[in-house]
Amino acid sequence: MNALSWLLSTCPDASIRDGHKALRLAVTICGKTSRKNPTYLSTLAAAEAETGRFSGAVVTLERAIELAEASGGTDALRAENWKALVRLYKARRPYRQPTTR
């Protein structure tokens, strides 16, 4: 569910993106983990941004960063990347995965 939500939120191909479906999926998976999984929260933030809910995306991603930094390890490394996404969402721009060719 997380991977599908991420794809529907961030795919560079607009014909694949579906922010509302991504948001429903992300809300579901975050609920199943009591909003304590930073990776799932980052996906929720991407879905919020894709649906134009940028202030919610910022709050959600900042919570993901807090959780990730507290847990250390690879989550802490992800938190550094997520800080760039916070700036993107504050600028009211959704994230798009880079295209590979």
pLDDT value, residue 101: 64
SS (H, E, C) 6-36: HHHHHCCCCCCCCHHHHHHHHHHHHHHCCCC
Q: pLDDT tens digit string along 44-99?
A: 999 999 999 999 999 999 999 999 999 877 878 889 899 999 999 999 999 999 98
In the predicted structure, residue 100 carries a pLDDT above the cut 80: no
pLDDT value, residue 22: 98
More confident residue, 10 or 73: 10
